[in-house]
Amino acid sequence: MKELTLEAVAENIPAVTDFVNTELETLGCSFAVQAQIDIAIDELFGNIANYAYKPGTGPATVQVEIEDDPVSVIITFLDNGKAFNPLEREDPDITLPARKRKPGGLGIFMVRKTMDNVDYEYREGKNILRIRKKI
């Protein structure tokens, strides 16, 4: 498992994306799958940066694991911010025009639809959000 810890600020999203993509490239990951994972990173790390520690900031850790059967990447996001389970949020009504929808929720909805598995737990003062994607 590889791990990166850095300040949970939006400016660090490219560093997290590069960290994960370096691992994906060693697996010969397709561009389409890599793009889906990059969008998930943007959404999930962005949410940590924008909400976990408000009004301040704090650390976030990203772990990347590779499984062999089937070949999959597991990316875990950990922070010590406010407990928040984004999976409990109701899915947005995507049948409504964008201007009639309530703000928020579309990003995690997209993550749930594009990843093979998304799970959350709050343990020992940490938010732990894990995504899995077959390569």
pLDDT digits (tens, 9 = 90+) for 110-123: 899 999 999 999 99
Mean pLDDT in residue range 90-98: 61
pLDDT over 80 (residue 107): no
* Domain coverage including residue 25: 2-134
Mean pLDDT in residue range 74-87: 93
- The domain that holds 111 is classified in CATH as 3.30.565.10
pLDDT band for position 16 (cuts 50, 70, 90) = very high
Q: pTM value?
A: 0.90
| Structural domains counted in the chain | 1
13 or 69, higher pLDDT: 13
Q: How far is CA 23 from CA 44, 52, 55, 72, 132, in A?
A: 18, 26, 33, 11, 14
pLDDT over 80 (residue 128): yes
> How far apart (Å, rounded) are the C-alpha atoms in residues 57 and 60?
10
pLDDT over 80 (residue 98): no
Q: What is the structure's pLDDT at 108?
A: 84
Q: What is the structure's pLDDT at 92?
A: 55
